[in-house]
Amino acid sequence: MSAIIYYLSLPFIYLISLLPFRLLYILSDFFYLIMFYVISYRKKVILANLTNAFPEKKPSEINHIHKEFMKYFCDLLLETFKTLTISRKKMLKHCKLDPSAEELFKKFAQQNKSVIIVMGHKGNWEWGGNTFSLCCDHQLYVIYHPLENKHFNNLICKMRERFGSRLIPMRETFREMIKNDHLLTATAFIADQSPNPNKAHWMNFLNQDTAVFTGTEKIAQKLQYPIVFVSIKKLSRGYYTLLAECIQNPPYNDMEGEITEKHTKKLESDIIEQPETWLWTHKRWKHQRK
């Protein structure tokens, strides 16, 4: 059944990817009307997340962020499909590498230093990976959760690897990084998902007690790689820029959890600055501390 759904969907996905940007965003506006006003896509989850994250905001402000988020979310879905056919020139036009970020990664490349990238589901992280691979000397590896539907998983992998990025399933992260330690690599961890609460670091994030992955911290300490925080900032509709800041260099003598708190607080600041461009649809706070 999953194969039938995939092959029926595939022509429409490619058709969307071939649309000019002007038509793509007209289609996105239509999707927004359906998802926001008709089916109320994950409305309860989104409003609960926003209300708990911003207790100081009025209901009218929360509703405004909700609307702006849904517009961005519909754009993001179609922009992701666009990756299947977009040219390199247009990719770099729509998602640029900030000059300071380019200089930072160039410095690490000249020193032959591999790095760990930590980021969140903010802005268009898919386009950010494409831009990095097109502009930087490091081989980008992205840690990801394979989809249960192998057909759609293969399609997502094809999109993500089209401009040179490579993927590592989460369970194989450390083994693959050890295997590639002779190469100049940048390994990207998306660190804002909901981890196993018994193995997580707990901290205050967006005004809530939150479980946070510790993998970035532990692997950086074992491999002695610098940690670079990356943010994809939305400039206007369909245009983004990739920003980067080195937040920690080896040797690491931090107390347990300090590095995790540092990159999580960086993400929190980014979200507060542009709240409509973070992924509010997930049940990020579904676990409670025991």
Tell me the pLDDT tens digit for each residue of 27-59: 999 999 999 999 999 999 999 999 999 999 999
pLDDT of residue 1: 66
pLDDT confidence tier of residue 150, bands split at 50, 70 and 90: confident
Q: Do 274 and 233 meet the contact criterion of CB atoms below 8 Å apart?
A: yes
Average pLDDT, the chain: 95
Report the percent of the chain where pLDDT is more than 90: 84
| Angle ∠(46,49,55) on CA atoms, nearest 5 | 125
- The pTM of the full predicted model, rounded to 2 decimals, is 0.94
CA diameter of the chain: 54
Kindly state the tokens that stand for 158.
Answer: 């094809």
User: In this model, does residue 9 exceed pLDDT 90?
Assistant: no
Q: Is the dihedral of CA 10, 69, 269, 192 positive or negative?
A: negative
pLDDT of residue 227: 97
Is residue 20 reached through a cis peptide bond, with omega within 30 degrees of 0 on the bond before it?
Answer: no
* Tens digits of residue pLDDT in 171-229: 999 999 999 999 999 999 999 988 888 889 999 999 999 999 999 999 999 999 999 99
Average pLDDT of span 62-80: 98
pLDDT of residue 46: 98
Report the percent of the chain where pLDDT is more than 70: 99
Kindly state the tokens that stand for 159.
Answer: 């999109």
Kindly state the tokens that stand for 285.
Answer: 């706070």
DSSP string, 78-140: HHHHHTTT--HHHHHHHEEEPHHHHHHHHHHHHTT--EEEEE-SBS-HHHHHHHHHHH-SSEE
User: Rounded distance, CA 172 to CA 192, Å?
Assistant: 19
User: Rounded distance, CA 72 to CA 28, Å?
Assistant: 9
Average pLDDT of span 231-239: 98
Q: Do 61 and 108 meet the contact criterion of CB atoms below 8 Å apart?
A: no
User: Rounded distance, CA 279 to CA 192, Å?
Assistant: 10
User: Rounded distance, CA 140 to CA 19, Å?
Assistant: 28
172 C-beta neighbours (distance < 10 Å), count = 11
DSSP string, 11-73: HHHHHHHHS-HHHHHHHHHHHHHIIIIIS-TTHHHHHHHHHHH-TTS-HHHHHHHHHHHHHHH
pLDDT of residue 183: 96
Q: State the virtual CA torsion across 26, 31, 36, 41 in degrees, nearest 10.
A: -150
pLDDT confidence tier of residue 243, bands split at 50, 70 and 90: very high
* Tens digits of residue pLDDT in 267-286: 999 999 999 999 999 999 99
N- to C-terminal Cα separation, the chain: 40
* Tens digits of residue pLDDT in 97-131: 999 999 999 999 999 999 999 999 999 999 999 99
pLDDT of residue 152: 85
Nearest to 231 by CA among 203, 280, 268, 195: 268
